[in-house]
A and B are shown apart, each in its own frame.
Chain A
Amino acid sequence: MIPLTYYLILSSIVFSIGLYGIMSQRNGVRLLMSVELMLNSANINLVAFSSYNDDMSGQVFTLFSIALAAAEAVIGFAILLSIFRMRDMINIDDINILRW
């Protein structure tokens, strides 16, 4: 029997990796990947608590969340694709035309 804490630790490690990616990466695709990691760490939490509390709605929410993550990724990649078409790169440091 695996204790709940293990799942939570796993989830926080995954989240921290995502966090690190968000902070350090400059490539748009990698950023989106990091975002997915953070989102899915939350999913892990949801499923874990759902199981340990014997409540199905947590798992239902996870399904919703995955669907929304898909939508988010779709939009994100569409934007990146559009930027790439315009400027031939997806380095977010150089995308600064809206900066003050």
Chain B
Amino acid sequence: MAIEYLAFLIPLLPALAFVITFFFGKKMYSGGALIPIGAIAISCIISILITINLLQNPEEVVHQSFHWFAILNLGILIDPLAGVMLCMVSFVSLLIHIYAVGYMSHDPAKPRYFAETALFTAAMLGVVLSDNILQLFICWELVGLCSYLLIGFWFQKPSAAAAAKKAFLTTRVGDVMFLTGIIILFSSIFTIYNGNLPEGVYVLQFNEIFKLIPELSAMHTTILGSEVSMLTIIALLFFGGAVGKSGQFPLHVWLPDAMEGPTTVSALIHAATMVTAGVYLVARTFPMFMGAPDALIVVAYVGGFTALFASTMGIVMNDIKRVLAFSTISQLGYMMLGLGMGAVVGMEAVGVSMFHLINHAFFKALLFLCAGSVIHSVGTQDMRQMGGVGKVMPITFITMLVASLALAGFGIPGTQIGTSGFFSKDAIIETTYLFGEHTGNYIPYIFGIVAALLTSIYIFRLLFMTFTGKPRTDYGGHESPSSMTGPLSILAVLALFFGALTQTKFYHFLEGTFENSFVHVNIEHLAELGNYHLVHGHHGEPLLILWMPIIVGVAGLLISFLIYYLNVVDMSKIVSRNNVVFKLLYNRYYQHQIFIEIISLHLTYGLSLVGEFIDRKIIDGIIDGISDGTIAIGEIIRKVQTGVVQSYATAVIAGVGLLIILLKLIVEVQ
């Protein structure tokens, strides 16, 4: 039996594990943790087997479709893009689950935790597997729900409940845009077919959508006086959904607060499941973006800006998890930036971006799990209270060091020596340089380089503050159990070597995403739709450009080393309440104030006041008016009913008299 026929089990098993663990977990060992672990392990094995098959024969993608209703279907699509995502998601999720057995050992609500993370994984696998945009959206929403449940896992804490709400509402903004995009897409398809949708064709399936890209691109509508292609609008709305889910500026505000959940949840959200969904969406619908150059440029700028913006805030945070949260936002920005470069490099943009996504998943999961290990042992998240942790937790220290090197992208250009981050992040930066070379626009490149410098600074600052020097407080601490250090070691190995082993193969593999037995998209042709030309083969970059990322990486390491290890510069003098730059960064550019006070309190509150006025005074007023009028009339008419029998008698007699007269008249008329 071919393994492909088991593909439907990939999301189904974790979903089943959710049900079993949720209802029966209490009586099982360790809150029923073994069931999700087993289910995800099987999913992972199936995913890897399918992906290996796919590697040998990239043309034959797995596609199974079941009729749902009318013109909609439920389907499974495993092409190279989905395959690598499936392997990454299930594998990283598996490691995090194993790690969580140790990390969550003291928590009384273990069954709920494991059930929810299993559902989270199932939803994310569902997003990856979907072969049509609607099914993707359903799973997408399920991911959002699970993130809400897990961020608010310790809902007894008001801050956790608030963070969960914030995450849910913020991503909801993006989700609404995504849904609007789907609706516009569907109505546009309807228009293209003149209302006669073809029989037996599921129009929301990706291959059908991609077929219609030229027609969508030809449809125009006018927004604010300028003519915009329908495709651009749809692509931008999809990107809006991705912005919400992947924490891009300006909807990134929920990600740092999402640290309120258990650290394992943070790792799951940041590495494997939630935030990658947005990047995956853009990659999945990449042909649409190719046909809409304006949308692609927006993706690039938003991504680049987010990368830079988030990394500046990462420098001043004192909470170890918050630093990592901003790091995630920044790295997601890189991925978007990479995708946005598709205007020049075509499919390779998906390659570099997804490659960074996979590598990032490994080293970011590792970073979070290390941080969790430290928090588990030290009992605080504030780096100012740590210091010297490396002596008591050697394994954690080494794995953290590996992850940091990967994040900062250390390696030697021109060779196969380097951490995974080196191969992926530097590839993105090189692509941005290529973009600048061909369009004369070097802004994305500058974003990328400066963000790389800042990344290096903040991650080594974290490393030095936490693991080196002398303990600043008396925290005790001990190395974590093997169920925690085991996943750390595996992830560390991957973070070190995955990039070097797979880079070229990976790009080539992903090239087949949009050209196989399921879908044929001619990227070159789409690029012509958007009026630009793709560049092939780019090995002529100056040596300085190749070395630039590693130079800024080392520079960042040195700066951090000087300040936080040797204490050459006394930071306490610079980092004071009066320093404008520090205040700006520490208060996260006053985004909180902007969002809460300006948008929430004034804009939204004002709008809701108007809404309330309309609802209370006008709509309710009409209804209340009707009922008040009825009551008033009743009050008047009810006076007739005196309750005095004599009055009734009078009325009856008068009535009888009049009736007789009437009868008489009628009879006589006849």
* Contact between A and B in the complex (any CB pair below 8 Å): yes
Could you tell me which residues of chain A, from 64 to 100, have a CB within 8 Å of some CB in chain B? 92-93, 96, 99-100
CB distance from B304 to the nearest CB of A (A): 79
A22 within 8 A of B: yes
Q: Is the CB of B653 within 8 A of A96?
A: no
Taking a contact as CB atoms closer than 8 A, the residue among A23, A26, A96 that contacts B643 in the complex is A96
CB distance from B645 to the nearest CB of A (A): 8
Q: Which residues of B contact A99 (CB under 8 A)?
A: 643
- Beta-carbon nearest neighbor of A99 in chain B: B643
Cα separation A23 to B654 with both chains bound (whole Å): 11
Mark each residue of chain B from 634 to 670: 1 if its CB lies under 8 Å from any CB of chain A, else 0. Answer: 0000000001101001100100000000000000000
A19 within 8 A of B: yes
Count of A residues near B, CB < 8 Å?
Answer: 10
CB distance from B124 to the nearest CB of A (A): 67
- Beta-carbon nearest neighbor of A22 in chain B: B649
- Beta-carbon nearest neighbor of A96 in chain B: B643
Could you tell me which residues of chain A, from 1 to 55, have a CB within 8 Å of some CB in chain B? 19, 22-24, 26
Cα separation A47 to B435 with both chains bound (whole Å): 123
Residues of A that sit less than 8 Å from B by CB: 19, 22-24, 26, 92-93, 96, 99-100
Apart from A22-B646, A23-B650, A93-B644, list 7 A-B contacts with CB within 8 A: A19-B653, A22-B649, A23-B646, A23-B649, A23-B653, A92-B646, A96-B643
Q: Which residues of A contact B644 (CB under 8 A)?
A: 93
Q: List 14 A-B contacts (CB under 8 A).
A: A19-B653, A22-B646, A22-B649, A23-B646, A23-B649, A23-B650, A23-B653, A24-B646, A26-B646, A92-B646, A93-B644, A96-B643, A99-B643, A100-B643
Closest 5 CB pairs of A and B: A99-B643, A23-B650, A23-B646, A23-B649, A22-B649
A-B contact count (CB 8 A): 14
Q: Which residues of B contact A92 (CB under 8 A)?
A: 646
Count of B residues near A, CB < 8 Å?
Answer: 6
CB distance from A92 to the nearest CB of B (A): 8
Q: Which residues of A contact B646 (CB under 8 A)?
A: 22-24, 26, 92
- Beta-carbon nearest neighbor of B654 in chain A: A23
CB distance from A93 to the nearest CB of B (A): 7
Cα separation A19 to B649 with both chains bound (whole Å): 9
Q: Which residues of A contact B643 (CB under 8 A)?
A: 96, 99-100
CB distance from A87 to the nearest CB of B (A): 17
CB distance from B649 to the nearest CB of A (A): 6
Cα separation A23 to B642 with both chains bound (whole Å): 14
Q: Which residues of B contact A22 (CB under 8 A)?
A: 646, 649
Q: Which residues of A contact B649 (CB under 8 A)?
A: 22-23
- Beta-carbon nearest neighbor of B643 in chain A: A99
- Beta-carbon nearest neighbor of A16 in chain B: B653
CB distance from B303 to the nearest CB of A (A): 75
CB distance from B45 to the nearest CB of A (A): 79
Q: Which residues of A contact B653 (CB under 8 A)?
A: 19, 23
Cα separation A92 to B653 with both chains bound (whole Å): 20
- Beta-carbon nearest neighbor of A23 in chain B: B650
Q: Which residues of B contact A96 (CB under 8 A)?
A: 643
CB distance from A97 to the nearest CB of B (A): 12
Q: Which residues of B contact A24 (CB under 8 A)?
A: 646
- Beta-carbon nearest neighbor of B641 in chain A: A100
Mark each residue of chain B from 615 to 649: 1 if its CB lies under 8 Å from any CB of chain A, else 0. Answer: 00000000000000000000000000001101001
CB distance from B94 to the nearest CB of A (A): 75
Cα separation A22 to B649 with both chains bound (whole Å): 8
Cα separation A96 to B602 with both chains bound (whole Å): 60
Cα separation A93 to B645 with both chains bound (whole Å): 9
CB distance from A38 to the nearest CB of B (A): 11
CB distance from B656 to the nearest CB of A (A): 11
Q: Which residues of B contact A26 (CB under 8 A)?
A: 646
Could you tell me which residues of chain B, from 163 to 219, have a CB within 8 Å of some CB in chain A? none
CB distance from A76 to the nearest CB of B (A): 14
Cα separation A100 to B642 with both chains bound (whole Å): 11
- Beta-carbon nearest neighbor of A93 in chain B: B644
- Beta-carbon nearest neighbor of B645 in chain A: A92
Cα separation A93 to B643 with both chains bound (whole Å): 10
Q: Which residues of B contact A100 (CB under 8 A)?
A: 643
Cα separation A96 to B645 with both chains bound (whole Å): 11
Cα separation A92 to B643 with both chains bound (whole Å): 12
Q: Which residues of B contact A23 (CB under 8 A)?
A: 646, 649-650, 653
- Beta-carbon nearest neighbor of A19 in chain B: B653
Cα separation A23 to B644 with both chains bound (whole Å): 10
Cα separation A22 to B648 with both chains bound (whole Å): 11
CB distance from B464 to the nearest CB of A (A): 87
CB distance from A12 to the nearest CB of B (A): 12
